[in-house]
Amino acid sequence: MNSRRSLLGASLLCLVPHLEVQAQTQINAKTTVVLGTATPGGGFPLYGAAFAQTIEEVDATLHIQTRNTKGSTENIPLIEAGQLDLALVTGEPFYEAINGIGRAPAHLSILTAMYSSPGMFVTRADSTARRIEDLLGKPVAFGAKGSGLVILARYVLDGLGYDMDKDFKPVLLDRAGDGPAMLADGRVAALWGGGSGWPGFTAVASSPTGARFIVPDAAQIQRIVAKHTLLKPMAIPARSYPGQEAALPSVGAWSFVIARPSLPDELAYRLARALHKGEAALGKRWPQAIESTAAYTVAAAPRTDLIHPGAQRYLREIGLLR
């Protein structure tokens, strides 16, 4: 009898930790949100990491699981298929998708604006190239396969009357982070990118050779935006990169965090609220993210109805939408 009581007691003691773990798991249950970024070495994975840390810091009930993808052009069909909850996209493929350019129109929802992305080239500081025309016929790394930056380059160059494939020797990368090394050893004459704090530009500007940035001039900017209205005049602020003392005017579009069509309104509301409360922290984690604000979301969205209904509800609650 004593032996049986001992065995029963031991069994109960074994069960207690298991029950405690089960209860703790239920108490600490979080909503997991999968966020598609891009290839390593570019700005999207770094932004995604800062985004995830900020959301989880503000709202402990949310867990953001980041996933590397091929970039904007893969993220959009993954979002449409419901294989991602959220995804990062540049403005050009987003514009093409919602307007049915080269495909059926897509139903996409904006959770938040990310940042503006003025496009430009960078060369080594010892390069003889000083204008876009000086790069004609030369090998240029235009970005990773699937990156929205490649689409931005096509629009910018088309606005100037150039064909990226015919007038340059375009190099498309397997990884966004490969570009600076190719520029350093002379495999390419220039690297194309966009925005403030872009990792590729930072790497070149911080290298022993230094950097020279090449942007369209004032007349070229007017030609580009006249032909492609989705692009707007934008500027890279002074000192965005080492050795860059003056602002750099160019053209570009806004990048966005988009949501799958079936993302529940309540979840989008919680995400929008956490982002708004964490705006300052997000900007400290990643410089470009200082533009990831509720106010910029309202200003940058092509139309209000493109903002997710759950995010719209929060924006109305804080007085940014009527």
**pLDDT value of position 42:** 85
pLDDT tens-digit map of 76-130: 999 999 999 999 999 999 999 999 999 999 999 999 999 999 999 999 999 999 9
**Whether residue 1 has pLDDT greater than 50:** no
Average pLDDT of the residues in 146-155 = 92
**pLDDT value of position 19:** 35
pLDDT tens-digit map of 37-46: 999 988 899 9
Angle between helices 148-159 and 72-80 (to 10 degrees): 120
Helix, strand, coil share (%) of the chain residues, nearest 5: 45, 20, 30
Determine the Cα–Cα distance for residues 167 and 133; give it in Å rounded to an integer: 10
**pLDDT value of position 25:** 34
The pTM is what? Answer: 0.81
CATH architecture of 28-116+254-317: 3-Layer(aba) Sandwich (3.40)
**pLDDT value of position 14:** 47
In the chain, ranges of CATH 3.40.190.10 domains? 28-116+254-317, 117-252
Determine the Cα–Cα distance for residues 15 and 211; give it in Å rounded to an integer: 64
**Whether residue 26 has pLDDT greater than 80:** no
Average pLDDT of the residues in 283-296 = 94
Homologous superfamily, domain 117-252: Periplasmic binding protein-like II (3.40.190.10)
Determine the Cα–Cα distance for residues 199 and 195; give it in Å rounded to an integer: 10
Average pLDDT of the residues in 246-272 = 97
- Any idea what the Cα angle at residue 76 is, between residues 70 and 81, rounded to 5°? 110
Phi, psi values for residue 160, rounded to 5°: -100, 0
- Measured from the Cβ of residue 67, the count of other Cβ atoms closer than 10 Å reads 15
pLDDT tens-digit map of 199-220: 999 999 999 999 999 999 999 9
Determine the Cα–Cα distance for residues 50 and 290; give it in Å rounded to an integer: 11
**Whether residue 7 has pLDDT greater than 80:** no
pLDDT band at 28 (very low <50, low <70, confident <90, very high): low
pLDDT band at 261 (very low <50, low <70, confident <90, very high): confident
Contact 189, 139 (CB under 8 A): yes
Read off the amino acid at residue 235.
Answer: A
